[in-house]
Amino acid sequence: MQFVADGPDIPEALLQAHEEGNLVFFCGSGISYPAGLPGFQGLVDKIYSLVGTSPTAIEKEAYERNQFDATLDLLERRFPGQRLAVRRVLAQALQPKRRKGATDTHKALLELARSRDGAVRLVTTNFDRIFAKLAAKGKPALQAYEAPFLPIPRNSRWNGLVYLHGLLPKDPDPRSLDRLVLTSGDFGLAYLTERWAARFVSELFRNYMVCFVGYSINDPVLRYMMDALAADRMRGEGAPQAYAFGDRAPGQEKSKTIEWDAKGVRPILYEVPSHSDDHSALHRTLKAWAENYRDGVLGKERIVVDYAIARPSASTQQDDFVGRMLWALSDRSGLPAKRFADFDPVPSLEWLEALSADRYGFSDLARFKIVPHGEIDKKLAFSLVLRPAPYTLGPPMMLASRGAVESQWDDVMLGVSRWLVRHLDDPKLILWLAQRGGHLHPRLVSQIEKQFDHFARLEREGKQDELARIRSQSPSAIPRELLRPVWRLLLTGRVRSPHTPDIYRWKERLKREGISATLRFELRELLAPKAVLKKPFHWPISDPETKTPTHLKQLVDWELVLATADVHLFSRNIAGAEEWRRILPELLDDLQQLLRDALDLRRELGEVDSRGRGTRTYQGKTGTYRYQALPGRPARFAQVVCLVVCFGRSVLATFRHWMQIPG
């Protein structure tokens, strides 16, 4: 997610590792740019200037190959006074400038490095004393570990700031200056010969997720560390994925990603204008991230407040505030989701599309308290409102149950559902639920029923002021009369699910056992009338003065179907069976009851009057249709007419086979 517009998009896996205290920031010289301190190349330039010499031909060649550690090694070997003379100027070269906000990034990283239990775990390869001055102001003062005396990264007691390559002493002395890892010779000792730095890095990578901040792609420091990690990987020692913030010019995203991947690091890229050293997007991101982290759940609630009334369609790749909102809403406490549900005026239903988008994958399972398998599932995709459940909320594996087995809800899902029931008058919510199967979770059913009871009580008691207040904050909260029958369909399970029961199993049982009461009951369930809800055609408004729809199909289109599919084909297969012909008279009452149910359902939806007469005229796909029941005809013919009215022509052919009625 992006914490600021035009900032880097931080992976969810990294955010989750940070929340759990499993992320360590590895800080390079780039974080000190706002304080006027140079990078490695700039440091070499300053050293040459301060010692008053120019590079020799061989030193210049190493410099032009970006081998700055080798350049300084060559300088120390040929300069009078050698190591000590060169290193005495470091304090002057690394003197920070007094600028507004010069140390804001350091403060942000110290905040981000502090886990929820108060322990600070931060590593830097910088020599400057900016971190040391900030840490000394804390209470208690933060412990510092200076190379080569380093902590064990897997030790839970590690609590402090690690200066992996040493720290400039307040009063420079030869012994302290000699311990600084500055030249290629120093790196060789630390990472190859004595290997104390390599061991620390290897152990750190095995136990924590690492994020590099302030390093360039060609930084020699990064090269030594990644070489040490590559050696461990060759021995089969795994490590979590490492990340690095990296800059890119416009159009370089693909090439930069390949370069970082080649080093075994996943880049978090941010754009820097061509021919510019403007890294403000990185620094603003770290400060915003630290502020949200410091404020805990209140920081996430602030994100909800900032964007609740925004239209998700306005979110862009440069300013992905939808990503920020989803990150906040997914907080396990459920408090940001509750804030979203209770926000006035109610957030637009447009947010439902963002909440139901499959933005998450295998690497995001941990943030939802799900322990993934070792093998990565690249095809896994899920959304905030349709996601795997942790074992504490998932239904148990069983051979039998007392009813429908549903997973329990966490506080996030509960908050989202409380927001949804403030949109009961919006047909788009009905269609969204129908498209996802139409079978509502029992807790959602309970919440909707509770809302209906509340509105009915207010209407019954004549509390118009309270109803007006509800509509002022949630214009689509109270469902109009036209939509209430459709809600009754959803609440009572009368909307057909995509997963329909298998009628062929019923046929096999009939062959095996013959007709029985239980088979008749099951047949009625298989042939029960159900509704399929669809997006409506563009109906003309019936009341042009008020521009108010007067028919349900102007809001939600629907048609009645049978609970199971493939009945027409099935009926052709069974029509000639002797057993079927023999039991047809026994099923007549059941089929008549199904017809009555269908007629009653259509009457409830407003398409048939109390006498069974339907007089609706509407524009269909193939022409204009008008239907009307015809009472007084022979019973079977009346049934056929009812079938036309209730189910349509496609199902008529099925029942004609079943009832042996000639066409």
- The pLDDT assigned to 221 comes to 80
- Tell me the angle at which helices 427-435 and 484-491 cross, rounded to the nearest 10 degrees: 30
pLDDT in tens, 422-437: 999 999 999 999 999 9
- The pLDDT assigned to 545 comes to 63
* pLDDT at residue 641 tops 80: no
User: Token pair for residue 118?
Assistant: 């108060």
- Listed in sequence order, the DSSP H helices in 165-296 are 174-178, 184-188, 196-207, 220-234, 253-262, 280-295
Side chain identity at 475, as an amino acid letter? P
Mean pLDDT confidence for 609-636: 43
Helix (H) or strand (E) holding 245: strand 242-248
- The pLDDT assigned to 631 comes to 39
> Tokens 């087995």 correspond to what residue?
405
* pLDDT at residue 409 tops 60: yes
- The pLDDT assigned to 114 comes to 93
Q: How far apart are CA 89 and CA 457, in angstroms?
A: 82
* pLDDT at residue 623 tops 50: no
- The pLDDT assigned to 240 comes to 80
Mean pLDDT confidence for 611-626: 44
Q: Could you tell me the pLDDT band of residue 238, with boundaries at 50, 70 and 90?
A: low
- The pLDDT assigned to 483 comes to 94
- The pLDDT assigned to 446 comes to 95
- The pLDDT assigned to 237 comes to 62
- The pLDDT assigned to 659 comes to 44
Higher pLDDT, 403 or 309: 309
Higher pLDDT, 546 or 632: 546
Mean pLDDT confidence for 328-350: 96
- The pLDDT assigned to 209 comes to 92
- The pLDDT assigned to 234 comes to 65
- The pLDDT assigned to 615 comes to 44
Q: What is the DSSP string of 410-427?
A: -HHHHHHHHHHTT-TT-H
Contact 134, 107 (CB under 8 A): yes
Q: Could you tell me the pLDDT band of residue 628, with boundaries at 50, 70 and 90?
A: very low
- The pLDDT assigned to 456 comes to 95
Q: Could you tell me the pLDDT band of residue 402, with boundaries at 50, 70 and 90?
A: low
HSE at residue 43, side-chain half, CA atoms within 13 A, is 28
Q: Could you tell me the pLDDT band of residue 656, with boundaries at 50, 70 and 90?
A: very low
CATH of 12-36+98-291, one of 1.10.10.10, 1.20.1440.230, 3.30.70.890, 3.40.50.1220: 3.40.50.1220
pLDDT in tens, 155-188: 667 889 999 999 999 888 888 999 999 999 999 9
- The pLDDT assigned to 167 comes to 94
- The pLDDT assigned to 193 comes to 92
* pLDDT at residue 229 tops 90: no
Mean pLDDT confidence for 578-594: 84
Q: What percent of the chain has pLDDT over 70?
A: 87
Q: Could you tell me the pLDDT band of residue 236, with boundaries at 50, 70 and 90?
A: low
User: What's the chain's average pLDDT?
Assistant: 86
Higher pLDDT, 615 or 1: 1
Contact 647, 634 (CB under 8 A): no
Q: Which has the minimum average pLDDT: 79-83, 189-193, 650-654?
A: 650-654
HSE at residue 649, side-chain half, CA atoms within 13 A, is 3
Q: How far apart are CA 346 and CA 242, in angstroms?
A: 41
Break the chain into its structural domains and give their ranges. 12-36+98-291, 38-93, 296-391+409-417
Q: Which long-range contacts (CB under 8 A, 24 or more apart) does 613-621 make?
A: 614/645, 616/551, 618/539, 618/553, 619/537, 619/539
- Listed in sequence order, the DSSP H helices in 31-81 are 40-51, 57-64, 68-78
Q: How far apart are CA 39 and CA 30, in angstroms?
A: 6
